[in-house]
Amino acid sequence: MLIAAVLLSARATGQENYFVTYDQHLEEPGNLEVSINPLIGKPPGGNAFVGSWMEFEYGATGWWTMEFYLDGQSTRRESTLFTGYRWENRFRPLAGEHWINPVFYVEFENVHGSDKILKDVVGFDSREDFGEPNAETHGEREREIETKLILGSQYRGWNISENFIAAKSFSNEPWEFGYALGVSRPLGLAATPRPCVFCRENFHAGLELYGGLGDAHSLTLRGTSHYLAPVLAWELANGTAMRISPTFGITGQSFPFLVRVGVSYEVAGFGRQVRRMFR
> Three-class SS string for 172-193?
CCCCEEEEEEEEEEECCCCCCC
CATH of the domain at 20: 2.40.160.40
pTM of the model: 0.91
Mean pLDDT, the chain, integer: 92
- Backbone φ and ψ for 3, nearest 5 degrees, come out as -60, -45
* Amino acid (1-letter code) at residue 39: L
b/e per residue 259-271 (b: at least 16 CB within 10 A): ebbbebbbbbbbb
Q: What is the pLDDT of residues 75-134, one digit of tens each?
A: 999 999 999 999 999 999 999 999 999 999 999 999 999 999 999 999 999 999 998 999
**CA Rg value for the chain:** 19
Q: Give 151's contacts (C-beta < 8 A, 6+ positions apart).
A: 24, 100, 101, 102, 103, 161, 162, 163
Return d(Cα 38, Cα 19) in angstroms, integer. 11
Q: What is the pLDDT of residues 234-249, one digit of tens each?
A: 999 888 999 999 999 9
Return d(Cα 17, Cα 203) in angstroms, integer. 10
Structure confidence at residue 95 (pLDDT): 92
Which stretches in the chain have pLDDT values below 50? Answer: 1-15
Q: Which domain holds residue 100?
A: 2-277
Structure confidence at residue 14 (pLDDT): 35
Structure confidence at residue 227 (pLDDT): 99
Structural domain count, the chain: 1
